[in-house]
Structure 1
């Protein structure tokens, strides 16, 4: 019983260490992962490199798999691209086993001590990242030590010893054990590392360990499959592709496990290193063998989960997907892109609403009302919910700041859409009442509308590019707009006093002026937010 508790305690420490290491690496290199993701193209080699690097950094193929399914589901990545990433991911997952195969003795405690020192006594965020990484590595090795110690005791129990021997004699038993263990733990990394721990005490033969590794590869598909089953057929295609890749590898290697073990034994005299090397050679070999057949794998997956265009769910959002919660860096980036898209929609709404008012274009006015109720409002609602849920997850300080900024910016962008809707309503009133505008009033409204729209466009550009100079220019131009606004307002009052202005036209004119002034204010808010963001946290837009 004590041995079982030790194994479970060691496994808990190991998984906690993986979590710390993953969080630290994601904070350290998360932005770089996003840059790589943006560059994933139809180049299969680039996609494969991204998968290798991202999986090694995140220390979780499951996280990357779930994120990819989310990106494919949001139409941000094709199935062919995802398969190339997947092949790289298979290579990247071997890094953890290679790390834990080292026997570092009491140095693991030094890693823990250094990690605690960095986390507790160095407020600088960079030191915090390194502290998390060191602490994670140390806890991983402490967990491995506990598991190895417990396994050394458990192998004296006859039925456990016989089971481990049977895995070496009958590889299918090891494969089945690997599938079950990985399905239960949802972590092939944990199962592979426990197998390495078995090797540290010679509790298992290399052949038995290889069987568990092969099974863990199949079991690792469960996470992605569960995530994909409730999503679109395209998302299921990604999951089915992963299953095909891993099952192919297992079927290919299974008949030759003794010969494979004999080859691996020549790579190192130490059993833990042999197990890690077997994992690496297996995954790398399968990925390289299947690399030329990515399109064929995608074609088979598409046959298994055909997409019916008539049944495809049409989402109002384009970039965000709940599957992205697994990797906050990606989720925040896509939320920022969704915000930019909403900004572009509101630009169109302002253009159409002012054209509707000035040209008495009822079609343009109706288009604005549709964009507000059918697109802008639902996107705002979904994006606000997406960021709110994300903020309840385990975010770093910088990521929390980014999420708060997106929510603040969303308020300003959404308000601009509301302003455009109000102008469109005034346009409909003008058409219905056949209300005339003087030529002077029309020219003034046109000037102010073009000025306000120009400032708003510039603020969105500053946000997209994270451009401090452009953001400052927005503030300066907003002040110019305010000066012009008061001059136009004064001239309008003079026209009213002289009787040159139609009474109902006067109400519409002054209210439209007020709405345009508020649009310029919201543009200024965007510019101020960009400047504050650049002063405190890294850029979120791109």
Structure 2
């Protein structure tokens, strides 16, 4: 046997296996992505349902690693709490063992049928059927790659030298565990390692003790991939889920190794042959870990949070914290993450308005300086949101997702414009007032403060509407545009009345006051256009023009 050629063939089939899993994962996410998200969201209300959801999703995705990467993206984006996500991962590990149980039978004969059906659907189907064809092709490739991978490995390890090396390694169980973990990491699949262990044990190449060690290494290796390859970024909090999953694997591994001399002989009794016994041990190992950890997930999650705390938000205030690139495979999730960043923009605008109120009333320059710094936050978030949302594959977006994409872009753009008005215009009013050493009249200052407070309320309403998309809320915010226009008109009239009465403070600050009134109204318009306009336009409640039609 040409060992070098076999190694290259093994690498090729390992790559085919990874590509097949990737096709299954992306196909399922494109076909059922929003449903998976809703399914997980509905299941996360209690641990048992989350556990079941993890098992079901992993069976669908054919990979606990794929489930872990998806859950890592959700937890990094704040869409899923850590404790239920850990319950999902416990279920995912059980789901992976169920995949092994299914593939342990001779199902390779189904591979050509799956690929043929998948190609037909992929070429001739539309939308969901087209993507489901990708799932079937991926499953066919997975079965083919697994079959060929095992076919190549068996004669390789059955050679006298290799078989003897395996028997010798069986005396050093930790070494076998480490080797199996490395193989699982390289193949990106615990299924490969467990099926290999079953095959070797069934043919008598390795003993039951070595087979158990290989299964334990497969469980450890499957937890390493999400930690090393998940897009966790620089935020240590994003590593909580993969680390939590790895730690419970290590705890189970340590426990089994501690009683290995007693447990290994018992494993042989779990099935009619060594191969089936190892498959059952794999399932029971993951079920036992789930039963051990499920009751303690909340304190366990709290411990992980303390070990990996979130960094102070002030460290990089203008950087996005929810825009996970891996979530782009599921547009609905990506748009939800962009929505969370949009709410950060709304909070920032509210903070700028509060700073503006202080700057209008105070002679200190500090409120002006600190509030202007918040505009950099808005600029950074706006750029990040636009780049992220516009980077979503256009052909994968449903009509509803395209509509939401435009709503997110409209919201971010208008809030950025509102921030520019505060930073460049209104804070300049406050700065010029301080430079001249003048003060607004008591009536004029109270007037401006009331308008700013009203804008703060409208900014909160705009953020709420951006989330709930409620038409009644949209109409309420829309009415604020007309109300603000009337308030500004009345405020201008009151200002001119004070001018006529000769109020010296009004005379000194007349241009500043009028500029402020104009800009406050423009900010309100941006808040309305940010969230109310898209909802009302979709519902057909906006008139094409405010002009009366000419007959």
TM-score, structure 1 length as denominator? 0.74
Distance 1:346 1:187 in 2: 47
Output one character per residue of 1:485-518: Cα deviation in whole Å (capped at 9) or x when no partner.
8956995998799797737523541453145225
* Match of residue 286, structure 2, among 283, 286, 298: 283
Aligned twin of 2:269 = 263
Q: CA deviation at 1:394?
A: 7.8
- Do the aligned residues in 1 keep the contact of 2:359 with 2:430 (CA within 8 Å)? yes
Change (3 A) 1:176 1:25: same
Aligned residues: 522
Aligned twin of 1:538 = none
* Match of residue 210, structure 1, among 209, 212, 215: 212
Distance 2:168 2:40 in 1: 44
Change (3 A) 1:509 1:79: same
- Do the aligned residues in 2 keep the contact of 1:458 with 1:474 (CA within 8 Å)? yes
How is 1:65-214 mapped onto 2 (pairs within 5 angstroms)?
65=68, 83-124=86-127, 126-151=128-153, 153-154=155-156, 157-163=159-165, 171-172=173-174, 174-192=176-194, 195=197, 208-214=210-216
Query: Are 2:528 and 1:526 equivalent residues in the alignment?
Result: no
SS of the residue 1:512 aligns to: helix
- Do the aligned residues in 2 keep the contact of 1:87 with 1:287 (CA within 8 Å)? yes
How is 1:27-46 mapped onto 2 (pairs within 5 angstroms)?
27-32=30-35, 34-35=37-38, 44-45=47-48
Mean Cα deviation higher: 236-245 or 8-17: 236-245
- Do the aligned residues in 2 keep the contact of 1:181 with 1:191 (CA within 8 Å)? yes
* Match of residue 517, structure 2, among 502, 512, 515: 512
Q: CA deviation at 1:60?
A: 4.3
* Match of residue 427, structure 1, among 426, 430, 436: 430
Aligned twin of 2:19 = 16
Output one character per residue of 1:190-210: Cα deviation in whole Å (capped at 9) or x when no partner.
544555676898876665443
- Do the aligned residues in 1 keep the contact of 2:115 with 2:136 (CA within 8 Å)? yes
Q: CA deviation at 1:15?
A: 1.2
Distance 1:318 1:47 in 2: 34
Output one character per residue of 1:161-219: Cα deviation in whole Å (capped at 9) or x when no partner.
44456667765554232122134345435544555676898876665443222112222
- Do the aligned residues in 2 keep the contact of 1:186 with 1:222 (CA within 8 Å)? no
Aligned twin of 2:415 = 413
Q: CA deviation at 1:129?
A: 3.6
Distance 2:150 2:456 in 1: 67
* Match of residue 245, structure 1, among 245, 248, 253: 248
How is 1:457-496 mapped onto 2 (pairs within 5 angstroms)?
457-468=460-471, 470-471=473-474, 474=477, 478=481, 480=482, 484=486
Output one character per residue of 1:197-255: Cα deviation in whole Å (capped at 9) or x when no partner.
76898876665443222112222343455479996776677665444422232233341
- Do the aligned residues in 1 keep the contact of 2:477 with 2:528 (CA within 8 Å)? yes
Mean Cα deviation higher: 71-80 or 325-334: 71-80
Distance 2:533 2:445 in 1: 31
Instruction: Give structure 2 stretches of 5+ with no counterpart.
Output: 541-551
Change (3 A) 1:518 1:147: same
Query: Are 2:224 and 1:222 equivalent residues in the alignment?
Result: yes
Mean Cα deviation higher: 177-186 or 454-463: 454-463
Change (3 A) 1:380 1:521: closer
Mean Cα deviation higher: 132-141 or 524-533: 524-533
Aligned twin of 2:380 = 381
- Do the aligned residues in 2 keep the contact of 1:342 with 1:376 (CA within 8 Å)? no
Aligned twin of 2:370 = 370
- Do the aligned residues in 1 keep the contact of 2:327 with 2:334 (CA within 8 Å)? yes
Q: CA deviation at 1:283?
A: 1.1
Distance 1:83 1:70 in 2: 13
TM-score, structure 2 length as denominator? 0.73
Q: CA deviation at 1:62?
A: 3.9
